[in-house]
Amino acid sequence: MKKRTEEKFYLVHEDVLPEAMKKTLEVKTLMEQKGLSVSAATLQADLSRSAFYKYRDMIYPFQAMVKEQIVTIFLTLEDRSGTLSKLLTIIADAGGNVLTIHQTIPLQGLANVTLSISTSAMGKDIVQLISDLKKLEFVHKADIVGSGA
């Protein structure tokens, strides 16, 4: 048996995951939200129980991994009066606690902003918050660049 010396983790886009891993996440959701047994949830998700047991401890939704942690977000914002203030208000309204802010001097009408946010009190998951931020007209880019305890 191969000994694990160091665990490595990767952030992988859902589109490249094998179907069994996607269905494992579906089974976990069914069990958590509907209280289904492993047998009932795997049957509903059309996944074998053996495949579920193979992957269940190896795959988690990203938002589950960053709960009660610090997330670092990188954004590119238009250089307009009040944009940073609006951005911080949206994060605060979501329950995020901004710990650090670093903003570059605007060049060609754009400024880069790096925020460290505590997500422990957030009412929505960080992935949804990033999606909401990307929809703002003054946000050109919004990505999670790191997370940690």
Confidence of residue 126 (pLDDT cuts 50, 70, 90): confident
Three-class SS of residue 148? strand
Pick the CATH number of 70-148 from 3.30.1330.10, 3.50.50.60, 3.30.70.260, 3.30.300.30: 3.30.70.260
- pLDDT of amino acid 58: 83
pTM beyond 0.75, yes or no: no
Residue 72: Cβ-neighbour burial (10 angstroms; 0-12, 13-18, 19+):
middle
Q: What does the pLDDT read at residue 7? A: 64
* Cα dihedral sign, 102-113-92-73: negative
> Which residue shows structure tokens 């959701």?
29
**pLDDT tens per residue across span 56-70:** 888 877 656 555 488
